[in-house]
Chain A
């Protein structure tokens, strides 16, 4: 029952996004433009790229994610759809997990699409054996971003300044996960061992997913 509800919510969000492409177009355009602009601004040598590659990539992903996560619950406010969802037999946790999975899929797609531009613009040395580890880091870091962002999207859904509040609340909460993701990515691109950052990301994901699932009903039903 729970899984069916999660699937229904996730499918609905992805279907809506595929039809409108609002968040997709905005976040893709933002990511590519930011990467391009920074490549002109810095003109980095290969040593400099190795030093800040992880930070640049994750800053780009994090800011692009705001364009997706802001809309997550905001799209339900139109026509009072959120009330209809809360009043339905769908549990708040299923609603949250369904939306988080849809956001995760969308964000990961944006990141995978942007990654070749990063490699190209910054002359990042890339080998095939980096693909799977990079995907793992992206998945762990993106899930951290998704969980926090989706929860705060629910928390701020009825606020007038929600588009400002979501980034202001999400980014400080994300600091531990971001530092870990940046460090692991930088290590990966430099050809170094990944380090303990992966474990930190896994722990962060488990803890905050559990907290979000437990508290989302209190957030949604005032």
Chain B
């Protein structure tokens, strides 16, 4: 069974087709780099996979289940553009909250472990709004990985991160990859993405124009994929 099956997905905003006939099968344990220019439809596709939006046509199955089913959503971790943290709650309160929302048997213990993992244990009782940008980003990474998701959706995860947050995120992604989790990552930062990815998919004007394994050529010449399959 594929970790993710996207079949003939279309998404319209009014008359505008943001996604057109998108089909993709992602095997368990793959790390897929979802590439494309601004406005190609990467975020739209990730939002549909995450169950935040419904496709106008087509279907998405995650481990054989519909994306909107509660059992499915418990297996997905998301790191999007926003940090998805409550400014008026402390770091530990934020993580405990999401631990309870994801039904973790011991949300308190898990929150403490994650704070240690992302280097925020010493400021556990500080309010999220008082944190520096880098600290908020690390806390957001902790929230996304808190429930040990089987499928990770990362939308521009490295954008505007400081060095420490990038290091934490890269280490956690590698750990998830080594444990056989499925990762889908949209990014403009080709070097970071291609180093981590096992597969790539290129989205152009809402359509998948290339999908396949990541090759050494892609790593050696990060612009090759866009020149070969992208817009002229």
- Using CB atoms and an 8 Å cutoff, list the residues of chain A in contact with chain B: 1, 4-5, 8, 12, 15-16, 19-20, 78-81, 83-91, 221-222
Contacts and interface: CB of A to CB of B under 8 A. Distances in A.
A89 B102 contact: yes
Contacts of B78: 83-84, 87
Given A12-B97, A221-B68, A88 B87 contact: no
Interface of B: 47, 50-54, 68, 70-71, 73-74, 76, 78, 80-89, 93, 97-98, 100-103, 143
A83 B82 contact: yes
B54 A84 contact: no
Given A8-B97, A12-B97, A88 B82 contact: no
Q: Main secondary structure on chain B at its contact with chain A?
A: loop
A89 B70 contact: yes
27 contacts: A4-B103, A8-B100, A15-B93, A16-B88, A19-B88, A78-B87, A79-B83, A79-B85, A80-B80, A80-B81, A80-B82, A81-B84, A83-B52, A84-B143, A86-B51, A86-B52, A87-B51, A87-B52, A88-B98, A89-B71, A89-B74, A89-B101, A89-B103, A90-B101, A91-B70, A221-B52, A222-B53
Given A84-B98, A89-B102, A221-B68, 14 more contacts: A12-B86, A16-B86, A16-B89, A80-B82, A83-B47, A87-B50, A87-B51, A87-B52, A88-B98, A89-B70, A89-B73, A90-B101, A221-B51, A222-B54
A148 to B, nearest CB: 25
Q: Chain A at the B interface: mostly helix, strand, loop or mixed?
A: helix
A222 B52 CA distance: 7
Given A78-B87, A83-B82, A88 B53 contact: no
